Amino acid sequence: MYVQFTGAGYCDVLDRSGSAGGLAQSGALDVLVAFERIGTRRSYARNDEIFAEGDRPDCWFKVVSGAVRVCKLMADGRRHIAEFHFAGDCFGFDSLPERLFSAEAVGDAVIMRFPRRATERLIDESPKLARYLREMTLRDLANAQMHMMMLGRMSAPERVATFLLDLADRRDASCALDLPMSRADIADYLGLTIETVCRVLSSFKRDGIIDIPNAHRIELRNRAALAEIGEG
Amino acid sequence: MYVQFTGAGYCDVLDRSGSAGGLAQSGALDVLVAFERIGTRRSYARNDEIFAEGDRPDCWFKVVSGAVRVCKLMADGRRHIAEFHFAGDCFGFDSLPERLFSAEAVGDAVIMRFPRRATERLIDESPKLARYLREMTLRDLANAQMHMMMLGRMSAPERVATFLLDLADRRDASCALDLPMSRADIADYLGLTIETVCRVLSSFKRDGIIDIPNAHRIELRNRAALAEIGEG
DNA sequence: CGCCAGTTTGACCAAGATCAACGCAAGTGG
DNA sequence: CCACTTGCGTTGATCTTGGTCAAACTGGCG
């Protein structure tokens, strides 16, 4: 029911053709290649901070490998994870004078970093690129709105089922999911507690809907049942 | 703690100067004036649908007067309100092939409607306008993420307090708020039930934090207390 | 082997949902 | 002008979901 977790990232147009944006066949390709030139690559260890709340957003990022969580802490320690990003996803494209969220590596990760100023110059030179970027952001916004509905109106089993299906859609995986994130990450993403996430997963397993060979691997045994739970 | 509810709308640059975007002093102004030419005005009665889920998004809108809710229904009737829009706000700028949300007039409202195709042509001609639009969308996204945190991690009193403060910030109103929307609308926006919203408002009133001369008017008597509750 | 972090499970609790009255003001029709 | 209806809003009693607290389990890893 989600459209998609979050935009696949502008850079991916390099690998696609004939998609809605129709960028590849329009000369914007050179510009996209230019992106790769202005970026620098860096490795992060598990839980390393990529940027912090309050930082000046003078660059944006693309996940090369690994996974990233974008999150925010409340004064009393409650945490909320706004989105996860996987290989190929771009994130951290922000316009406010300071970051409202921080970003951290879920496990070991490799990330490309692009300076914002140079990027905006490139975008200004290409209306098509600008449009593509705009569409990506609007897609992210639509996803955020679907996520809001989940947090505001769905039960715990509905949230977990939706989460598993979305994750499966997003990463090719037909039925064997490997979850790079901890139960705490999942809980903070779904607006639940660790214990509730565990319990729901266990009950899905009892019902034969999924299998959990180990904590970070989940196999979808009955997608239809999951989908039904996810709908309410 | 919200930055702002949702973008003030690109058209407002006509009335501002020296803001971050710095559009007014750059020649993009003519382009903005052009927006007004391609728009058509229409009145809606209370609860009228402005666009429906599944519609093709071939135009976007600006609220002239009144208020609009952007919402979505689940199969079993549960409703979620993603955002409210007031005079001056733009909404309905969407990129997917069909609308995921519907928009309805909260009370009687007057709305400008702009064709999408012509708009995109204008945007393509002005990188500055494109950038401004991008920033507006990114601001909306940031707001959506703050709202997610509220839905996922805040208690009922925290949500209501935050809602009241945001509304007060957004509409000049120093302390006398008039709520155009019903309790049901508020509940569906905050991810609560009507009864809980009522109870929380009543308890705020008992504590002297607010006054409720009538159901659609709320006076903030103690902003600091509200802010404290909102923080957690 | 034993420690440690993360996960799972159970017992209990509380915030908020649900269900049910009741209140109240704005129509509506006689 | 006054019953009567209707749509919201408010309040109370009760129930359920998911949170909290605590203990047991598991799989690395020194």
**Chain B nearest CA to A127, separation (Å):** 5
User: Is B149 among the domain residues?
Assistant: no
| pLDDT confidence band for A204 (50 / 70 / 90) | very high
A182 Cβ contacts chain D strand, under 7 Å? no
Could you tell me what percent of chain B has a pLDDT over 70?
86
pLDDT at position A12 over 70: no
- What Cα–Cα distance (Å) separates residue A100 from each residue in A82, A214, B83? 11, 35, 20
A18 & A84 share domain: yes
pLDDT at residue B35, rounded to an integer:
77
Which whole number is the average pLDDT over A176-181?
Answer: 95
Q: Which domain holds residue B40?
A: 4-144
pLDDT tops 60 at residue B8: no
Chain A residues with CB inside 8 Å of B149's CB? Answer: 72, 74, 80, 82
Q: B54: burial class by Cβ within 10 Å (0-12, 13-18, 19+)? A: exposed
Looking at chain A, which residue has its C-alpha nearest residue B156? A152
Among B6, B80, B146, the strongest candidate for a mutation testing the A interface, having the largest count of A CBs within 10 A, is: B80
Query: Are B46 and B133 in the same domain?
Result: yes
Q: Check whether residue B198 has its CB closer than 7 Å to nucleic acid strand D.
A: yes
Q: Which of A90, A117, A137 to mutate to test the interface with B (most CBs of B within 10 A)?
A: A137
Indicate whether A19 and A96 sit together in one domain.
yes
CATH code of residue A191: 1.10.10.10
Within-domain flag for B216 = yes
In the predicted model, is pLDDT for residue A16 greater than 60?
no
Residue B136 has pLDDT above 60, yes or no: yes
CATH of the domain at B140: 2.60.120.10
Q: Does B159 lie in the same domain as B137?
A: no
- Pick the range with the lowest mean pLDDT from A35-39, A162-166, B38-42, B44-48: A35-39
Task: Give the end of a domain, one of A112, A144, A176.
Answer: A144
- DSSP state at residue A26: G
Is B142 in Cβ contact with A141 (below 8 Å)? Answer: no
Percent of chain A with pLDDT over 90: 74
> Does residue B124 share a domain with residue B85?
yes
Q: How far is the CA of A155 from the C1' of D24 (A)?
A: 28
Say whether pLDDT at B220 is over 90. Answer: yes
Q: Taking a contact as any Cβ pair under 8 Å apart, which residues of chain A between 14 and 53 contact chain B?
A: none
The yes-or-no verdict on residue A20 having pLDDT over 50 is no
- Residue ending a domain, among B144, B163, B178, is B144
A14 has a pLDDT exceeding 80: no
Looking at the DSSP bridge assignments, the partners of residue A211 are: A219
pLDDT above 90 (res A128): no
A137 contacts chain B (CB < 8 A): yes
Residue that finishes a domain, picked among B126, B144, B162? B144
Average pLDDT score, chain B: 88
A87 located within any domain = yes
> Considering CB atoms only, which of B75, B96, B148 is closest to A232?
B75
Please give the DSSP secondary-structure letter assigned to residue A128.
Answer: H
Where does the pLDDT of residue A31 fall: very low under 50, low under 70, confident under 90, or very high at 90 and above?
low
Mean of pLDDT values over A36-63: 95
Q: Are residues B111 and B164 in the same domain?
A: no
Summarize the confidence of residues B191-197 as an average pLDDT.
98
Q: Among A8-17, A24-33, B110-119, which is the least confidently predicted range?
A: A8-17
Q: Are residues B50 and B106 in the same domain?
A: yes
Cross-chain CB nearest to A141 (options B123, B130, B140): B140
Domain contains B54: yes
Q: Has residue B6 got a pLDDT over 70?
A: no
Q: Residue B20 phi/psi, 5° resolution?
A: -45, -50
A138 and A221 in a single domain? The answer is no
Residue A199 included in any domain: yes
> Is any atom of strand D within 7 angstroms of residue B19's beta carbon?
no
- Whether residue B153 is predicted with pLDDT greater than 60 in this model: the reply is yes
Q: Which residue has the higher pLDDT, A128 or B218?
A: B218
- Residue A149 is assigned to a structural domain of this protein: no
What is the arithmetic mean of pLDDT over A9-17? 36
Q: What is the average per-residue pLDDT within B52-59? A: 97
Phi, psi of A62 (to 5 degrees): -135, 130
The average pLDDT across B146-164 equals: 98
Whether B117 is in a domain gets the answer: yes
Q: Are residues B16 and B86 in the same domain?
A: yes
Nearest CA-CA distance, residue A161 and chain B, Å: 16
Q: Are residues B90 and B44 in the same domain?
A: yes
Q: What is the distance in angstroms between the Cα of A126 and the nearest Cα belonging to chain B?
A: 8
Predicted TM-score (pTM) of this structure: 0.90
Protein residues with beta carbon less than 7 Å from any atom of strand C: A 182-184, 194-195, 197-199, 201-202, 212, 215-216; B 155-157, 191-193, 195-196
The predicted pLDDT at position A29 comes to 64
- Does residue B41 sit in the same domain as residue B117? yes
Q: How far apart are the first and last CA of chain B?
A: 11
Residue B79 has pLDDT above 70, yes or no: yes
Is A12 inside any structural domain?
yes
A145 contacts: CB under 8 Å, gap ≥ 6: B72, B82, B100, B101, B144
How many Å lie between the alpha carbon of B199 and the closest alpha carbon of chain A?
18
Average pLDDT over residues B218-229: 97
Chain B window 167-196, residues with Cβ within 7 A of nucleic strand D: 182-184, 194-195
pLDDT digits (tens, 9 = 90+) for B10-49: 343 333 333 444 444 445 566 667 777 889 999 999 999 9
State how far the Cα of A81 lies from the Cα of B49, in Å rounded to an integer.
33
Which residue in the set B78, B148, B188 is minimally distant from A147, CB to CB?
B148
Cβ distance A96 to B138 less than 8 Å, yes or no, reads: yes
Summarize the confidence of residues B63-84 as an average pLDDT.
97
In chain B, the number of structural domains is: 2
Which residues are registered as beta bridge partners of A91? Answer: A61
Same domain, A107 and A140: yes
